[in-house]
Amino acid sequence: MLKKNLQETYGCHVFNDTIMCERLPKETYMELKKTIEEGTPLPSGTADIVANAMKDWAIENGATHYTHWFQPLNGFTAEKHDSFLILSKEGRALTEFSGKSLIKGEPDASSFPSGGLRATFEARGYTAWDCTSPAFLKEDSSGLTLCIPTAFCSYNGAALDKKTPLLRSVEAISRQAIRVLRLFGDTKTTRVQVSCGAEQEYFLVDKDMFKKRLDLMFTGRTLLGAKPPKTQEMDDHYFGTLKERVSAFMKELDEALWKIGVPAKTKHNEAAPAQHELAPIFETVNVACDHNQITMELMRKIADHHNMVCLLHEKPFAGLNGSGKHNNWSLSTSDGVNLLNPGKTPRENAQFLVFLCAVISAIDDHAALIRASAANAGNDFRLGALEAPPAIISIFLGDELTDILEQLETGEEHDTKRGGVLDTGVPSLPNLFLDTTDRNRTSPFAFTGNKFEFRMVPSSASIAGPNTVLNTVVAEALAQIADRLEGTKDFNKELNELLAEMIKKHKRIIFNGNGYSDEWVLEAKRRGLPNINNSADSYAAFIQPESIAMFEKHHVYSRAELESRYEIKMEKYIKIVGIEARTLLQMINRQIIPACTKYANDTAKTILHIKSADSLCDTLALEEVLRKTTSGLSALTKALKKLERAAEKSERFGEDYVAQAKFSRESVVAAMNEVRKIADELEGIVGKEYWPIPTYSDLIYSV
Ligand code: ADP
Ligand code: MG
């Protein structure tokens, strides 16, 4: 229940600015604020005072423990709880939380994936407080725990987590964006922040149904299941009235999120039955990332309170819409000016166009990397399928903006309504009204008025990776622009030439048409755009020499950090396919085949029974059912053998991840598809009461 009202509830479990201002000595508060806003190191001594205030606040709220809360490379969040308890000499219970404990932790890191970054004998990893993301009190049935968002590094400083590179990429883009702003006469801006709002899609299914499906339990997606007669054809679920149970879940979720300062804003039904979405108000990317991690965690936890399970997999149901995360992204100055907002004055517009073109060239130059940043095994089933962006990276700008870029490229104004020409020759956009209602849902990367929306991002993954890549590639484009324009004699002339060149070179990535169409695949090929249709192949982009050089130049990832991430991603892909194959084998062997056999046996008995009662009776229909079932069983067994062999072979590749991943995809996934096809046909033949697992209809209409 809401404590009082929304305003009082929001942030009541966050050690936020108001609380800090109230509870810290003014000087400490100012020092901490400077660290948060400007990234300056926290003076020694200050941490002790902050820690103590944090502890008092946490204890007053009922907490007994604190945890450094971090995001290891397995994509989840990790926590190790320590109580505030210390003992006096007399053995009396006291509480303590030192600045040292706030700033640094030493969890045993040996069980987290490190991709070789941390030799196993050096089990230590360090967590370091990230004071740009506020501490909060996490609630569960056991009470409240003080959570301190932290970065996680190895003994030698290599990033073992997703937060550290993200923070580094924010620094990188801020540095380069400021260089560009200075060119336009901005002398004030001290930091450029990345804003991010991640819309989260998910499915809810009944927990009792879920528990009867090994595939959902082990892999998060259905490996079997015929498409029901009706799913989303009638478009009756999207924005439809919320069911009571779903609505109760959403209410509890909203309240839990608000308490810890996650600005949950919008909730609605999505296109597929049982699919929903939550969108928060955008925040700085680091906080948005932490908040998205907590949102996913709470979605799972709170669904359970309502006897439901929240599925965050990218494609839980074949043939239905998949889930993604629309990663809304923009840049803003320390004064809160959105740099992707077309301005009011010609100068602002020219600056806007530079940032816009920086993004366009960055995405074109590094399309493969952007693609890879949004890749995971689950997304392989989503990208290019129903209502999901294709695996080809392109940018939607809308006709109006595209038209303006064309004018910039040719230097000709062909529409006087667009206003005059800047003395730079850049067409000014005084009355520019970008039609943001024209949302091309088919584009993987769309400009939506004052932000870009990266729609490929997988629903289950952390948004840290995609944003780290996005920030870095744009930082690199901005660096190139600054290199070219700094110190030029005729800034306007050079700027015009540069913009024209950039547009000419990169306009191939702009596509305003239907991204789901087959024609686009051909057109993209003609334009030379990469179309990498699976995650394992895409990961190679991380370890290309150009990528390594760029990430190292901007101090975002070292070569070793990239190589480790590549290894972890490849390994994870292979493991997922392995688990899926083993799960499917078990379901077919132990559930589907016995069910089909029983049905065949009962049908055969029925035929004999009828015939023995009256030999003249027509049993043709039953015989056909029997034949279909038994021939289905034969086909299934054959396909299963193939899968068994492929799954076995896929284990025998040693360390050759590339060959193993290729085999997993081409042989194991292909064999799974074959098995599934036959099993799904059998589902349509075998009697409902014989079918051993909940069907798609059971699942998607279970709540
Ligand atoms: P949609 O039609 O896709 O739902 P909205 O405009 O409602 O679009 O915004 C979707 C998401 O984009 C929200 O999370 C919102 O907070 C976020 N958003 C809005 N403006 C920005 C911005 N400048 N930078 C980053 N995210 C933004
Ligand atoms: Mg959206």
Long-range CB pairs of 498-502 (<8 Å, 24+ gap) are 499/353, 499/354, 499/357, 499/408, 499/409, 499/426, 500/408, 500/409, 500/410, 500/411, 502/357, 502/360, 502/361
Q: What is the pLDDT of residue 348?
A: 83
pLDDT digits (tens, 9 = 90+) for 221-251: 999 999 988 777 777 778 888 899 999 999 9
Residue, of 593 and 35, whose pLDDT is higher: 593
The percent of residues in the chain predicted with pLDDT above 70, rounded, is 95
Tell me whether residue 648 is exposed, middle or buried, using C-beta atoms within 10 angstroms of its C-beta: 0 to 12, 13 to 18, 19 or more: exposed
CA 278 from chain centre, in angstroms, equals 13
Whether residue 378 has pLDDT greater than 50: yes
Q: What is the pLDDT of residue 344?
A: 77
281 lines ligand 1 (CB under 6 A): yes
The residue contributing the CA closest to ligand 1 atom 11 is: 197
Q: Which atom of ligand 1 is nearest to the CA of 198?
A: 14
How confident is the prediction for the chain on average, in pLDDT?
A: 91
CA distance 343 to 356: 12
- How many whole angstroms from 635 Cα to the centroid of ligand 2? 43
The percent of residues in the chain predicted with pLDDT above 90, rounded, is 76
pTM, full prediction: 0.94
Q: What is the pLDDT of residue 119?
A: 61
Q: What is the pLDDT of residue 438?
A: 53
Neighbours of 86 (CB within 10 A): 12
Whether residue 127 has pLDDT greater than 50: yes
Q: What is the pLDDT of residue 429?
A: 40
324 lines ligand 1 (CB under 6 A): no
CA distance 644 to 395: 42
pLDDT digits (tens, 9 = 90+) for 595-605: 999 999 999 99
Whether residue 676 has pLDDT greater than 90: yes
328 lines ligand 1 (CB under 6 A): yes
The pick from 282, 352, 436 for probing ligand 1's pocket by mutation, whose C-beta has the most ligand atoms within 8 angstroms, reads 282
Q: How much of the chain is in helix, strand and coil states, percent to nearest 5? A: 50, 15, 35
Q: What is the pLDDT of residue 366?
A: 98
CA distance 295 to 301: 10
Whether residue 33 has pLDDT greater than 50: yes
CA distance 293 to 287: 10
CA distance 314 to 185: 45
Least confident of 27-36, 427-436, 586-595: 427-436
- How many whole angstroms from 460 Cα to the centroid of ligand 1? 19
pLDDT digits (tens, 9 = 90+) for 500-509: 999 999 999 9
Q: What is the pLDDT of residue 118?
A: 64
| Residues paired with residue 148 on neighbouring β-strands, in sequence order | 68
Residue, of 407 and 233, whose pLDDT is higher: 407
280 lines ligand 1 (CB under 6 A): yes
310 near 299, Cβ under 8 Å?
Answer: yes
86 lines ligand 1 (CB under 6 A): no
**Among 635, 605, 607, 636, which residue's Cα sits nearest to residue 620?**
607
Q: What is the pLDDT of residue 18?
A: 93
Q: Which atom of ligand 1 is nearest to the CA of 282?
A: 16
| Stated length of the chain | 703
- How many whole angstroms from 329 Cα to the centroid of ligand 1? 8
Tell me whether residue 629 is exposed, middle or buried, using C-beta atoms within 10 angstroms of its C-beta: 0 to 12, 13 to 18, 19 or more: buried
**Among 476, 450, 472, 478, which residue's Cα sits nearest to residue 354?**
478
Whether residue 412 has pLDDT greater than 80: no
The residue contributing the CA closest to ligand 1 atom 17 is: 197
Q: Which atom of ligand 1 is nearest to the CA of 280?
A: 14
Band of pLDDT at residue 420, cut at 50, 70 and 90: very low
pLDDT digits (tens, 9 = 90+) for 529-586: 999 999 999 999 999 999 999 999 999 999 999 999 999 999 999 999 999 999 999 9
- How many whole angstroms from 619 Cα to the centroid of ligand 2? 56
